[in-house]
Amino acid sequence: MEIKEQVENLFGLQDAVCENLDTPTNDIVAVTAPTGRFALKLYNPQSRNVADVQWELELLTHLIKNGAPVVRAFPGKNGYVETFIIDGQDRAAVLYEWAKGEKPKPSDDTYKLLGKAAGQIHKAVDTFTSSLVRDKYDIETLIDGPLRRMEDLLTVADRWQRVFDMGERLKQTVVNPALDWGVCHMDLTLDNVYRDGDTITVFDFDSSGECWRAIEPHKVLRLSKEYFTAWLDGYRSVRPFNQIDEEAVAAFGVIGDLRVVAWDLGVATSSRGIPKIGIPELTVVADGWLDWESKNIKKY
């Protein structure tokens, strides 16, 4: 049965027009029907099963009830999480609203809105509970695991020992018990929000899980200290982001990149298809990590 037929059957849509958007980790299908436009998300079975997606929808429902600016999902015949059969394989599927607006351009006011959205999400999720198990982003998940998967390639690039030693130093930042801990979006960038005027809508909570909150703005800091200041202003308009967390963001500027690069190299659990980068690119990335650490991270 084609995607169109399954969408119409399970979600009650009529005359649906489906367009595969060719996204990297999960498959996103733009669905247009007389009742509106939607985003059908078909989850990567290598990394997400039905229980994983159910946890995400419980989180999303809780966030909406508590006023966080996040995208809504639509229930099908069997609940929010349906099962599609694609090429003979079962895929967890969710139909989301198509957020209003468009992907925003980088600016101080955009990042202030992004920081405010992060604060609203963290504030709302502090009261979230679920009986379902979700992986935590601990030292193993963020540092040891990705480095272990990249070891052979980093060895070929003649960067393994230096990057491994850097990882050991970075651990000294995250062991601080004063750091704020809780559920994070984990990929809260401009790629995962739409802006409509002064309203931002956040989507793609597939990577969400418990982690140190200082990881949330790490890509903002790597992009621009000015944008990071704007992000902090927005966040602090909703909830505290203390000085210890602020200082730790620089370390997460590297820590948060390790999983991404492992994925790009094709060695992560959720990697799909041909690697996006090879040894020459990895060498440049590793040197960038070491340079960032040297210039921005407090020495112990």
Please report, to the nearest 10 degrees, the dihedral formed by the alpha carbons of residues 169, 171, 172, 174 taken in order.
150
Q: What is the pLDDT of residue 263?
A: 93
Q: What is the pLDDT of residue 269?
A: 80
Is 259 exposed, middle or buried (CB count within 10 Å of its CB: 0-12, 13-18, 19+)? buried
Q: What is the pLDDT of residue 253?
A: 96
All residues at 6 or more sequence positions from 229 whose CB lies less than 8 Å from its CB, including other chains? none
Per-residue tokens: 158: 């003649």
Which amino acid is it at 189?
Answer: T
**pTM for this prediction:** 0.94
Walk along the chain (300 residues) and give the pLDDT tens digit of each residue: 699 999 999 999 999 999 999 888 899 999 999 999 999 999 998 889 999 999 999 999 999 999 999 999 999 999 999 999 988 889 999 999 999 999 999 999 999 999 999 999 999 999 999 999 998 999 999 999 999 999 999 999 999 999 999 999 999 988 899 999 999 999 999 999 999 999 999 999 999 999 999 999 999 999 999 999 999 999 999 999 999 999 999 999 999 999 999 999 999 887 877 899 999 999 999 999 999 999 999 765
Q: What is the pLDDT of residue 33?
A: 96
Q: What is the pLDDT of residues 137-188, one digit of tens each?
A: 999 999 999 999 999 999 999 999 999 999 999 999 888 999 999 999 999 9
**Under a CB-based contact definition with an 8 Å cutoff, are residues 157 and 256 in contact?**
no
Q: What is the pLDDT of residue 285?
A: 98
Q: What is the pLDDT of residue 1?
A: 67
Per-residue tokens: 121: 């999400």
